[in-house]
Structure 1
Amino acid sequence: MRAHTSPTRLAETASGADFTVTSATVSDGAPWPPEQYSGIFGVPGGRDVSPQLSWRGAPEGTRSYAVTVYDPDAPTGSGFWHWAVADIPADVTELPEGAGDEAGSGLPGGAFQLPGDARAARFVGAAPPAGHGAHRYVITVHALDVASVGVAADATPAALGFAMAGHTLGRATLTVTGYTPGEPSGPERVEVSRLVPAPASAVFAVLADPAGHVEIDASGMLLGAEGGPIAAAGDRFTVHMDREALGDRPLGRYDVEVVITRCTPDVEIAWTVEGRRVRPHVGHVYGYRLTPTDGGTLVTSYHDWSGVAEEWRRRLVFPVVPESALRATLGVLERTVRRRSAGA
């Protein structure tokens, strides 16, 4: 790769020397190369390769470093942590490209990676939502006055930041950008993700089982299901519903047909729901995408109502299932996968 040598001046030491960080992977203000985008999150060409970093001019008294990569523009209300490395020895002033793989193969002895917001202890590349505009990715080297910052290996980057607050002598920062063209995922689609510590096959086995849909229901509406295992798009099964569990509409108990619209084993499954006495069918879609990653499977649950009939747009408030319910279901899904795996 072509080397870039435009350092960003961030901090002044007591002696007046600049504390700076540079990269042979990307220059300050420039966009990420394709390798630094996230294949874990399904970005075409993304490989989740951490950037090469070099730093110099650390403040006097530095005994260790930490490195973080943070996206303040992620639509989460709290940004998104892509990488966090703690306890880098004071005599180390460089990390090679790819150091942040799942094994931390390029990290020096004593250093370790914390799980970021994807809950994977590794570098997770850029994956800004399509059409959301350019995101900033702030790469920071923190110079600390302790040899070990004293956080657990499973701590969050926020906890690392708290632990560093009283020990930071200086910071050197490099800011790069990332952008995904196309239409935004909203306002007619909601997606949430969770790392489930199990192989994709175990997660898919629950989602391909009609009884599994009842087990992972977080609303209390699903009373039971009838039908065989799902094998392909077009498969159907019956679900017995109880709307009184929500107390919002006087529909009582009724049955619906679940119709599978996508089915790629261990990768993705999606379906729509058809009421037996309702015409036209609403046409909204629920689904799950499964992406194997370090520590298990990144499970993305989505609710898409972009294809809903106009009649239903006037009658219903979308999303019918809010983001909070999708998140709750992912939690129940993890619990169900654990229980099934333990009983296997």
Structure 2
Amino acid sequence: MSVNDPFARLPEAAPFTVTSTGVTDGGALPPAQLSGQDRSPQLSWSGAPDGTRSYAVTVYDPDAPTGSGFWHWAVADIPATVTELPEGAGDDTGSGLPEGAFQLPNDARVARFLGAAPPAGHGPHRYFVVVHALDVESIGVPADATPAVLGFTMAAHTLGRAVLTATAETPAEGGQRIEVSRLIPASADAVFAVLTDPEGHVDIDASGMLMAAEGDRVRQPGDRFRVHMDREALGDVPLGKYEVEVVITTLVPDEEIAWTVEAGLRPHVRHIYGYRLERAEGGTLVTSYYDWSQIDEEWKRRNVFPIVPESALKATLGILERTVRRRAR
């Protein structure tokens, strides 16, 4: 990954604040903002400089192996009265954009948000999610202009910038992620009801390690619940009985849920477990995944990953179908 600063030679601009329910500054992009899902991030901003008359939003990867980076999203002429965009606003129709705002074609030449897809083995890429506060109501670029033209035109009109920087990386061949899928003959909300219930995690466990769970149904990223574990069920590592805390990292109702596990060990491992749901003929296509690409360096050196085999994910999907059927009865 290069260390180039995309703002280094631009006029200085006052900082203000942008936050997101999904994107964490300095963290990894969530799956919704990766290629395949291509959902633009939720954004909220505040504290723009006096005199702001409109905003623009851009998402840019300076580390793409192109010589010029890669623009993933560009939105112009957002009214000054608007301070939030919902997740998914940057779809093909711009359905979540305010009146008057428009999307420019990205570097794939489509006028929408394009998810991150760094080349395999190229290392981590940075993604600059930027809200630009401008001193004009309309920046005056045509709808088919490139994001680079937008950036050039904004340079003389930028009063402030609010920036989130996240990362994404595609592992080299060999991979650090396992995915398996199964068509479950049930509605997405019925499947999701099991996956958001702490006791549901115990019900669908294929390892025999999960004994019980404590906590309320999860509803948003950051929610937590406790799980009582018994490693003696596997007889491989002498950990005995212990507890872990499940921390929800992604939650899109009836579409996706993912979590990591925190135990007494430090640093936390930060591997991710999750499910994606897609409505399909005959029910719901459920994809179970296990991702250890973002684990802490100390854990990488232990060379024990993956700790969950593909067979376990397949078994859990079978048990998930059985559990959904049983609960329906």
Taking structure 2 as the reference length, the TM-score comes to: 0.48
Which of structures 1 and 2 has the bigger CA Rg? Answer: 1
